Amino acid sequence: MSAAPTTRPATPERTAMTTATRSAAPSRRARLRSAAGAEARLLVRNRTAVFNSVLMPLLLVAAVPALGIGGGEVGLGPTLLTAAVVISLVYLTYYNLVTTYVARREDLVLQRMRTGELSDGEVLTATAVPTLLVTVGQLVVVTAGVVALGEWSAPVQPLLVAFGVLAGLVLMVLLAIASTGFTRTAESAQITTLPIVLVSTALSGMFFPLSALPEWLSGIARFLPVTPVVDLLHLGFSGTTWEGDPVGDVSVWTWAVFPAGVLVAWIVVGTVLARRGFRWAPRR
Partner 1 sequence: MQPATAAPPTRSGEPLAVEVTDLRRSYGDFEAVRGISFEVRPGEVFALLGVNGAGKTSALEVLEGLATPGGGTVRVFGADPVRDRAAVRARMGMLLQSSGLPGDLTVAETVRTWAGTLSAPRDVDEAIAQVGLTGRADVRVRSLSGGERRRLDLALAVLGRPEVVVLDEPTTGLDPESRRQVWRLVQDMVDGGTAVVLTTHHLEEAEELADRVAILKAGRIVLSGTQEEIAETQPAVVRFTLDAGTPEPPVPAAVQVVSAGPRHEWHTRALQPVLAELLAWAAEHGVVLRYLQATAASLEQAFLAVAEGRVGDAA
Shortest Cβ 172–partner 1 spacing (Å): 23
Nearest in space to 131 (alpha carbons), one of 96, 84, 166 = 96
Interaction of residue 26 with partner 1, rule CB under 8 A: yes
User: Is residue 72 close enough to count as binding partner 1 by CB under 8 A?
Assistant: no
Tell me: does residue 114 bind partner 1 (CB under 8 A): yes
- Angstrom CA distances, 5 to 9, 16, 127, 162, 229, stand at 9, 21, 10, 19, 20
Is the CB of residue 208 less than 8 Å from the CB of residue 240?
no
45 is an interface residue for partner 1 by CB under 8 A: yes
Q: Verify binding: residue 117, partner 1, rule CB under 8 A.
A: yes
The interface region with partner 1, picked from 31-39, 158-166, 182-190, 203-211 by CB under 8 A, is 31-39
Q: Interface with partner 1 includes 38 (CB under 8 A)?
A: yes
Q: Judged by CB under 8 A, which of 9, 21, 154, 216 binds partner 1?
A: 21
Q: From the CB of 278, what's the least distance to partner 1, in Å?
A: 14
AA letter at 146:
V
Examine residue 119 and tell whether it contacts partner 1 (CB under 8 A). Answer: yes
Applying CB under 8 A, among 9, 10, 20, 23 the residue interacting with partner 1 is 23
Span near partner 1 by CB under 8 A; candidates 26-34, 129-137, 236-244, 267-275: 26-34
Task: Return the number of the residue (43 or 90) whose C-beta is nearest partner 1.
Answer: 43
CA distance 146 to 153: 9
How many Cα atoms occupy the beta-carbon half-sphere of 260 within 13 Å? 13
How many residues touch partner 1 (CB under 8 A)?
A: 35
Residue 275 lies near partner 1 (rule: CB under 8 A)? no
Which range in 37-45, 196-204, 214-222, 232-240 contacts partner 1 by CB under 8 A? 37-45
Q: How far is the CB of 49 from partner 1 (least distance, A)?
A: 10
Which of 115, 182, 249, 250 forms a contact with partner 1 (CB under 8 A)? 115
Q: How far apart are CA 260 and CA 222, in angstroms?
A: 11
Of 112-120, 236-244, 247-255, 265-273, which part binds partner 1 (CB under 8 A)?
112-120
Nearer to partner 1, 8 or 114 (CB): 114
For residues 202 and 258, give the distance between their C-alpha atoms in angstroms, rounded to a whole number: 20
Chain residues binding partner 1 by CB under 8 A are 14-17, 19, 21-26, 30-31, 33-35, 37-38, 41-42, 45-46, 104, 107-109, 111-112, 114-119, 280
